[in-house]
Amino acid sequence: MSDNINYRKSENPPPRVDIRVQKRLFSLEISRRRLYSVIEEALERNEALERSQGVETAADPEGWLLTMTTGATPPDPTQDIALTRSPTEGSATAGGPARAAANLAKASMAKNTRRAYEAALRGFERSGRPETDAGVAAYLGDIYEEGLSAACAAMTVAALRFRARLNGRPSPVGAASERVLAGFRRLATERGRGQVTGVRWEQADRAAAMAERSGGLAGQRDAVIIAVASDALLRVSEISALDVSDVDLEGKTVLVRRSKTDQEGEGVLQFLGEPTVERVRAWLEGASLKEGPLFRAVHRSGRVQAERLTERSIRRIIIRRAREAGVEGRISGHSLRVGSAQSLATAGASLVEMQLAGRWRSPAMPGRYAQGQLAHRGAVARLRYGP
């Protein structure tokens, strides 16, 4: 009888096991909070000591903890924004509380989590958004339009909170950021690794042609936006920033003066096909544009405004025109860029060629966008089923 009882206990553990797990998790959470408290106290003591000695924290030759910029002034995009820097040779407590605090901060999370936080922070700093509630909310909107997943957004929010706490500053994540993140999670439930539906070359050509046939300067402008973005693999921010002087109709190029991967503004020339050049020429003539912003708002009366078309307006134009052309799926302002990468892969471009065309830092991103097209050129497709 006792054997049967023991057997049943092994098959159906009593509820108290769950309670023990919960207590253990609660204990770990308390320990983590105490660790943060120790770090903060160590930082405060170290800062007080340095002030008493007339030493500036930022002048620390070993830079054990980087001073991060907050507020409305964006940090230098080239600045290393790692959470902490590990100490040099010596014991864990060499150099006093500062050295100990750095080690404790690093030990408070797994290596992969720390790397993920640092990557998320690098992405935020490159965006140039201020580290404020409004800035974080705007950045979440940016990465949503780029097609990233809710997990990426949550990682950024967590990293910003952790960094603020580590540096003894109020968290930049407030009510606005929380609401945007909640909306992000609701709308991005179907995203895998963040890919949007690509608008391929033939779809972009159809969308541009339909925009032209809709009549008026607004339709003409929308056709140019679609054609230029598809040819040059432009991001929405790059489309909005274009000036009339950036387009060389004779040379069939457009100058991207600054981009996400070119924060120093060295600029790069992107090729434009003949049909795109003709569309640009017709738009410039029809709108009587000689200088200033290339893409502008058009009033209902047909009068072209002086103001530059906003990124939000450009996203709406791309989404609306793509849907009118019959493109299905989740479309965003990034869809033309993704679709061009897919079309390049279908046409036989190598990953390096795709990387150069889209100005990506590595071939991994275009490879992810075009993984379906690249699969048809893989070993199984070529060697088992032939060309």
**Averages of pLDDT over each 10 residues, the chain, 387 residues:** 43 48 55 51 51 41 32 37 40 51 61 80 91 92 85 91 88 92 83 74 96 92 96 93 95 88 77 96 94 93 91 94 93 93 92 90 84 84 79
Q: Tell me the whole-structure pTM to 2 decimals.
A: 0.55
My answer on whether 279 and 181 are in the same domain is no
- Burial grade of 297 (CB within 10 A; 0-12, 13-18, 19 or more): middle
Q: What CATH number should be reported for the domain holding residue 210?
A: 1.10.443.10
Let me know if residue 248 belongs to a domain.
yes
> Cα dist. 142→149, 199, 281, 322, 370 in Å?
12, 19, 31, 20, 22
64 plus 183 within the same structural domain: yes
Residue 165 lies in a domain: yes
Q: Are residues 183 and 206 in the same domain?
A: no
Is 168 found in the same domain as 30?
yes
Residues 215 and 165 in one domain: no
Same domain, 110 and 243: no
Give the chain's domain count. Answer: 2
**Residue 142 domain flag:** yes
- The answer to the question of residue 58 being in a domain is yes
Instruction: Find, among 262, 258, 252, the residue nearest to 240 by Cα.
Output: 258
Question: Distances in Å between the alpha carbon of 22 and those of 27, 36, 297?
Answer: 9, 21, 57
Q: Of the residues 284, 299, 328, which one is the last residue of a structural domain? A: 328
Query: Quick one: 138 and 218 in the same domain?
Result: no
Angle ∠(193,172,125) on CA atoms, nearest 5: 55
The per-residue pLDDT for 1 is 44
Residues 231 and 274 in one domain: yes
Which of these three, 311, 328, 345, is where a domain ends?
A: 328
pLDDT of residue 91: 38
Predicted pLDDT of residue 245: 95
Q: Do 308 and 278 belong together in one domain?
A: yes
8 Å CB contact between 68 and 167:
yes
Residues 165 and 227 in one domain: no
Question: Looking at the structure, do residues 38 and 139 belong to the same domain, yes or no?
Answer: yes
Instruction: Identify whether 282 is part of a domain.
Output: yes
End-of-domain residue from the set 275, 308, 328 = 328
Q: Does residue 326 contact residue 206 with C-beta atoms inside 8 Å? A: yes
Range of the domain at 21: 16-86+97-187
**Is residue 282 located within the same domain as residue 166?**
no
In a domain, 361, yes or no: no
**pLDDT score recorded for residue 363:** 86
